[in-house]
Amino acid sequence: MAIQKWSDEITIVELSDDPQFTEDLDALMDNVENNAADVVLNLSAVGFINSSNVAKLLRVRKVMLAIDRRLVLCDVNAQVWGIFLVTGLDKIFEFTSDVAIALASLQMDMAAADDEEPSDSDDE
Where residue 27 falls among pLDDT bands split at 50, 70, 90?
confident
Q: What is the pLDDT of residues 59-102, one digit of tens each?
A: 999 999 999 999 999 999 999 999 999 999 999 999 999 999 99
- Which residues constitute the domain of residue 17? 2-123
Which of 86-113 are b and which e, b meaning 16 or more Cβ less than 10 Å from the residue's Cβ?
A: eeebeeebebbeebeebbebbeeeeeee
Residue 120 in this model has a pLDDT that exceeds 60: no
CATH number of the CATH domain containing 101: 3.30.750.24
- In total, how many domains does the chain have? 1
Q: What is the pTM of this model?
A: 0.84
The confidence band for 1, taking pLDDT boundaries of 50, 70 and 90, is: low
Dist CA 80 CA 53 (whole Å): 11
H helices of the chain, in order, are 20-34, 51-66, 78-87, 99-116
As a whole number, the mean pLDDT across the chain is: 87
